Structure 1
Amino acid sequence: MNDLLNPRSVRSGMPRRLKLAAASLLLGSLGACVVGPDFVRPEVKAPDSWATHQHAETASHPVDHSIEPQWWTLFGDSQLTELEQRAVASNLDIRIAATRLQESRWQRRIIGSAELPSIGANANYQRSGASNNGLMSLLGVTPGASASEMANGTGYGNNGIQGADASAPFNLYQYGFDASWELDLWGRTRRSVEAANALTESAAEIRHGVILAVLTETAADYVQLRATQATLATVKETLELARHSLDLTHKRQAEGVATRLEVSEAAAQVDAIDARLPPLEAQESQLINALSLLVATQPGTLASELQTAKPVPPVPAEVPIGLPSELARRRPDIRQAEAQLHAATANIGVAKADFYPNVTLSGSFGMQSLSFATLGTWASRQFAIGPTLSLPMFEGGRLTGVLRLRETRQQEAALQYQKTVLNAWHEIDDAMIAYDAQQRRRTSMGRALAHNQAAYDAAVSRYKAGATTFLDVLVVQQALLDTQTEWVRSNAEVSFTVIRLFKALGGGWDQVAALPSHTTAGS
């Protein structure tokens, strides 16, 4: 007993106690278990081959070669390639998604901090004085010795504490360290970290999906711009032909061959065709603005670069679409749904761990003295160490409700994963069908265009020869313009379907996501 009161004995015993405490923590951590189900990656039953729906007469067809990561280069348009590079480097949606990914990573770090002890330091100084008529009077304290005399033991009366002056002010100095550590005996913290990791993966896949969306939207807007410019050129050419027909009708009227009705019909045709130009010109400007927004610039910034018309980017003869078994590892939405399922599964373990006892080990060590001069001496030491055990006894069904909620959310996440995979197959199949159908439609429209052109040339020749009325020329001219417009639209739709096919296949984000311009914001 005397050895325990010996300062030297206490001093030598402190490290031993700390070692025992550390050993207890280590053994507790090593022996801890993890409750709740472990996540198992769902299997995706992929078909052996794609249902391509291709006919023999189509010029372009899919092949099961590896997907070109930068699939937009297959169109062979250098301006499109440059726009894609600028979009992935500057697009604000991509940068926002990268910022949200960074937020998720910091959230993961916050949750992961619970795996480590919490250590803090404190220091304070107080000058205090108690009331003679306050709580101290209950102990029979009467005015007399000062607080410093009471501290050194000379101010006590015969009854032990009489004679002290409770109102005398005194100084109190103290500083020290405190630590606490919640032992993760049942894996609650580890399951929380597991769920946070999965949510970080989900945020990463959201970013990948945004990258893919920006890539496809840039390509689609560019194709639409070139199609609009091609339609504008067609309408302007037809307008010149209509004006030429109007001049011809005026001459024939002056010669007494054509009637005033034919002149009015020719003039109406000119105005009707001219009325098609303003909407197309507005659409051209709006598409340039849309592309400017995608590359994060002011409206009209790209006008000087894009107002010069170019052909609609043609599709390649072969479109590499990869293998069906690669789809689940490539589409960001499937990967995101898997990460959400993983997080939901881990959260079940968090809810189950709440049913078990919670053990927190805490300790503190510091110095306290009424005199600053003795604050650093060993006699001023004070410490406390010990575990705290808490066990839920009655929560009114809250813990059970939370567990059932987490289990239901996991079921929902599993169903959402199945739906996402099934939706992916449907999108690809629909894109394949449209890819073939639009090519066949373009072929038919090309033949119709050739027939309408021949009919128009014949009608004009017959009108000049006086063998037919001008009404026949107007009918054929209108049909020719409609066919030309539809052919341009059909040609653009072929390119659109290839863009949609690559989006459905989930290609293009992986190499872009690794570019330095993105890792800076998202790492």
Structure 2
Amino acid sequence: MVLKRSGNNRRLLAVVSRPILSSAILLLVAGCTVGPDFKQPASPYNPVSWFAGRPHAVAASQPVALPIDVAWWESFNDPELNSLEQRAAAQNLDVVTATIRVAEARSNAGVAASAFFPTVSGQADAFDVKPSNDLGLSSLTGGSSSSSSSGSGSSGGNIDPLQIYQYGFDASWTLDIWGKVRRSVEAGNAQLEASEIDRRGVLTQIIAEVARDYVQLRNAQALLQIAQTNVKTAQNLLNLTQQRAVAGLTNELDVAQEQAQLMTTAATVPQAQQQVAAQINALSLLLGEGPRALQAELETPEVVPPTPAAIPIGLPSELLRRRPDVMEAEAKLHAATANIGVAIGAFLPKFNLLGMFDIQSGSTQDLFSTAARTYILGGMVSVPIFEGGQLVETLHLRRAQQHEAMVSYDKTVLQAFSDVDNALTAYDAEQRRRAALRQSVAANEKALGLAQQRYTEGIATYLDVLTAQQNVLTSQSSYQNSTAAVSTNLVSLYLALGGGWEATFPTPANEGPPNASVGQTLKTAITQGNAS
């Protein structure tokens, strides 16, 4: 639109714009924030102690209500495990992905916050305008008065094209009178917090997975050694049986039975070797490396990391502020609550300040003259009148989403306490099972020795020896698996309690991909976060 510049227009614009600007400023200062304010939800379950109603444990490793060591994996006293944990925190691709999601959420929050500020755009135009010859405007434009003989119905002369050149800028500012933008920013920040907490949850899961896979690797190596030892024992018994058969002290049936026992035992060796290779590859993947990348580092067998005598697990009241999924559920509830305010704000009038300043001329020579100025300054109020039910249903949707987020929070809290209770029960029960299996191994090894002695003396049959061999192999494997289960159950307990409990994620301030320094500063960052 092209407006003529005149003194009357200027006075009218000033009369209109000044009240609009004054009213807008007053509304902005006195603006309110619509919608409910977020309040921290009450926990649906608040136990006083982890040990209430639980029988006193008599196991060698017992949970105690003491402050938790944030770097819990160090309680296993295994330098190799400590090294793997540091590298996993720095290199794991799931952690890198979660870090990228945090950056995405931060950008989304920035997009919401940008609505606080005015928008300004510049433009420059140059174009020709050719009015119709039939408009009778030739006298106004100075065009030729000759008419076209071929144009039927022509009433005016030929009008020359008009050249128009202009440049300038437009500005608009939507005032956040009702706090709709503030609620939108609040929701965006809550979603950002949820993403940051989710990243912490990913890290705690990775830390626990590394510890679990490492324990399983050492267990697989121990089972391989048990199988290899039992193969040697079966080979020695086969040699003895063959010698007795040559001497006529036994028959070929005993030899065949011992050969079958040897092959059965030997068949467990490849299975154990396959499990060792699979666990090494699993650890390599967790560290963001290719298959067999850790082969040389981990192929030497080591014992399953033993559990400490005392397991500090803190107090139940600390769980809700330490477990990532609970904190994430609370942040999502916060975002859902803020979105209700955004939906309510859509019902209310919207106040916009508008401005335009252009330099407009019919020739390039006048593009910098004051006479070529044109501007518009004013305001606009828009009120939704009919939206086909969209605003009402959006508000209903946001309230339902808040209700769903509240139910999800309650369920997450109950699940958290249930996980801890189950983990404590499993840890105690597996220790008692391991104690019984230890006695079973001792008894079966003694029975095998006696069966061999009685068979050599001709008192017992070879079936007694075979049965004793099988019992020894089974009990040794069960005891070894139980030893590993005690350690993995401890890992599960720490995971149920919330993992590493860091409040500051160990990544650079610019949220770039984790680098080598992250693993080195992991414990420091976790400790600082816990202290805050």
TM-score normalised over the length of structure 2: 0.89
Q: Deviations over 1:119-140 (max 9, x none)?
A: 111111113322313xxx2xx3
Residue of structure 2 in register with 1:264 after alignment = 256
Q: CA separation in 2, counterparts of 1:337 and 1:96?
A: 20
Residue of structure 2 in register with 1:158 after alignment = none
My pick for the range that moved more, 503-512 or 290-299, is 503-512
Closer/same/farther in 2, CA of residues 169 and 397 from structure 1, 3 Å limit: closer
Residue of structure 2 in register with 1:88 after alignment = 89
Q: 1:285 deviation in Å?
A: 0.6
My pick for the range that moved more, 457-466 or 416-425, is 457-466
Residue of structure 2 in register with 1:290 after alignment = 282
Closer/same/farther in 2, CA of residues 166 and 143 from structure 1, 3 Å limit: farther
Q: CA separation in 1, counterparts of 2:508 and 2:342?
A: 37
1:57 has 2:61 as partner: no
1:127 has 2:128 as partner: yes
Residue of structure 2 in register with 1:47 after alignment = 47
Residue of structure 2 in register with 1:114 after alignment = 115
Conserved? CA contact 1:269–1:474, under 8 Å: yes
SS state at 2:138 partner: coil
Alignment of 1:370-409 (within 5 A): 370-409=362-401
1:312 has 2:300 as partner: no
Residue of structure 1 in register with 2:524 after alignment = none
Aligned residues: CA RMSD: 2.5
Q: CA separation in 2, counterparts of 1:405 and 1:428?
A: 35
Conserved? CA contact 1:41–1:338, under 8 Å: yes
Q: CA separation in 1, counterparts of 2:46 and 2:393?
A: 37
SS state at 1:520 partner: coil
Q: Deviations over 1:336-367 (max 9, x none)?
A: 10011001111111111111112222111111
Closer/same/farther in 2, CA of residues 401 and 193 from structure 1, 3 Å limit: same
Residue of structure 1 in register with 2:343 after alignment = 351
Q: Which amino acid aligns with 1:31?
A: A
Conserved? CA contact 1:145–1:165, under 8 Å: no
Q: 1:43 deviation in Å?
A: 2.4
Q: CA separation in 2, counterparts of 1:485 and 1:50?
A: 33
Q: 1:182 deviation in Å?
A: 1.1
Q: CA separation in 2, counterparts of 1:522 and 1:290?
A: 20
Q: 1:291 deviation in Å?
A: 0.4
Identity of aligned residues (%): 42
Q: CA separation in 1, counterparts of 2:21 and 2:379?
A: 12
Residue of structure 1 in register with 2:191 after alignment = 199
Q: CA separation in 1, counterparts of 2:17 and 2:380?
A: 17
My pick for the range that moved more, 313-322 or 384-393, is 384-393
Residue of structure 2 in register with 1:500 after alignment = 492
Q: Which amino acid aligns with 2:251?
A: T
SS state at 1:471 partner: helix
Alignment of 1:113-262 (within 5 A): 113-133=114-134, 137=135, 140-142=136-138, 146=142, 167-262=159-254
Closer/same/farther in 2, CA of residues 15 and 453 from structure 1, 3 Å limit: farther
Q: Which amino acid aligns with 1:124?
A: D
TM-score normalised over the length of structure 1: 0.90
Q: Deviations over 1:15-41 (max 9, x none)?
A: 999887665443222111111111001
Conserved? CA contact 1:67–1:507, under 8 Å: no
Residue of structure 1 in register with 2:326 after alignment = 334
Q: CA separation in 1, counterparts of 2:236 and 2:81?
A: 37
Q: Which amino acid aligns with 2:110?
A: R
SS state at 1:415 partner: helix
Q: 1:145 deviation in Å?
A: 5.4
Closer/same/farther in 2, CA of residues 336 and 145 from structure 1, 3 Å limit: closer
User: Of the candidates 295, 298, 304, which is equivalent to residue 303 of structure 1?
Assistant: 295
My pick for the range that moved more, 355-364 or 193-202, is 355-364
Residue of structure 2 in register with 1:363 after alignment = 355
Conserved? CA contact 1:141–1:166, under 8 Å: no
Unpaired stretches in structure 1, ≥5 consecutive residues: 150-162
Q: 1:512 deviation in Å?
A: 7.4
Closer/same/farther in 2, CA of residues 401 and 486 from structure 1, 3 Å limit: same
SS state at 2:374 partner: strand
SS state at 1:366 partner: strand
Q: CA separation in 2, counterparts of 1:300 and 1:436?
A: 35
Conserved? CA contact 2:164–2:362, under 8 Å: yes
Q: CA separation in 1, counterparts of 2:445 and 2:425?
A: 30
SS state at 2:512 partner: helix
Aligned length: 499
